[in-house]
């Protein structure tokens, strides 16, 4: 059985529970309970699945891309999981908004929206909220005029590194 909980000191955790009945000869019965923290494995599996989906999209579109003309772009760009937005509430009420840089069972590293790196002890935190929405704006195409948007795409496309050409005839 899988159980997901948010603990006061260590935050969200996914636990895998296994239980077995152990019977002894003299009618004595116990329950053996195994608990495994699979939070990191589940997060890695989710990240791997996201990367595989991105790979498929990019492979489908790579045949249509031209590195230097600014003409085409990926239709589906997935959020990068390494930029997880968080809102951390300290026990004293102070709130830090930023991007999660690193975390473990005891500490949290957050690059705050004030450009400060915070090294936080989980015992001193009241809440860690993993913001599901990306920090990147989703309406860039609506904020810019069509010409500005085309210029932006052309510029970003020109940043691509062209694939090295293989010399013909085997070369020396």
Split at pLDDT 50, 70, 90, the class of 161 is: low
CA distances from 96 to 9, 61, 101, 131, 170 (A): 17, 39, 13, 12, 58
pLDDT score, position 66: 47
> How far, in Å, CA of 22 to CA of 150, rounded?
68
Kindly report, residue by residue over 10-64, the tens digit of the pLDDT. Answer: 888 888 888 888 887 777 888 888 888 888 888 888 888 888 888 877 776 655 5
Q: Is this prediction's pTM over 0.75?
A: no
Cβ-contact 131, 86 below 8 angstroms: yes
Q: 122 CB contacts (<8 Å, ≥6 apart)?
A: 9, 10, 11, 105, 106, 107, 108, 128
- CB-based contacts of 62: which residues, under 8 Å, 6+ apart? none
Angle at 53 between CA 85 and CA 72, to 5 degrees: 90
Instruction: Give the pLDDT band of residue 78 (cuts 50, 70, 90).
Output: low
Instruction: Tell which CATH architecture fits domain 85-130.
Output: Roll (2.30)
pLDDT at 164: 63
Give the pLDDT band of residue 68 (cuts 50, 70, 90). Answer: very low
Alpha carbon distance 19, 31 (integer Å): 7
Distance CA 31, CA 17 (A): 12
The C-alpha angle with vertex 137 and arms to 78 and 100, in degrees rounded to 5, equals 70
Q: Are strands 11-23 and 85-90 parallel, antiparallel or unpaired?
A: unpaired
* pLDDT for the residue 148: 86
Q: Domain coordinates of the chain in residue numbers? A: 1-37, 85-130
The position carrying tokens 């510029």 is 155
Is residue 168 predicted with pLDDT exceeding 50? yes
The pLDDT tens digits for 105-143 are 889 999 999 999 999 999 999 999 988 887 777 787 788
Which backbone phi and psi does 12 adopt, to 5 degrees? Answer: -70, 135
Token pair of 144 as six digits: 């810019």
Question: For residue 86, what pLDDT band results from cuts at 50, 70 and 90?
Answer: very high
What's the pLDDT band for 95 if we cut at 50, 70, 90?
very high
More confident residue, 169 or 21: 21
């Amino acid at each position: 059985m899988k159980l997901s909980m948010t603990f006061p000191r260590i935050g969200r955790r996914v636990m895998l529970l296994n239980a077995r009945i152990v019977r002894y000869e003299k009618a004595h019965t116990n329950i053996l309970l195994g608990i495994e923290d699979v939070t990191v494995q589940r997060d890695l599996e989710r990240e791997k699945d996201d990367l595989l989906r991105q790979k498929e999209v990019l492979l489908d579109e790579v045949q249509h891309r031209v590195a230097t003309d600014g003409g085409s772009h990926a239709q589906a760009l997935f959020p990068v999981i390494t930029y997880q937005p968080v809102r951390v509430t300290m026990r004293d009420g102070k709130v830090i908004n930023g991007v999660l840089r690193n975390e473990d069972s005891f500490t949290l590293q957050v690059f705050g929206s004030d450009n400060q790196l915070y090294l936080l002890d989980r015992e001193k935190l009241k809440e860690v909220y993993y913001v599901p929405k990306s920090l990147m704006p989703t309406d860039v195409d609506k904020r810019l005029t069509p010409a500005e948007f085309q210029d932006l795409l052309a510029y970003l496309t020109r940043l691509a590194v062209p694939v090295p050409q293989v010399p013909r005839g085997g070369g020396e």
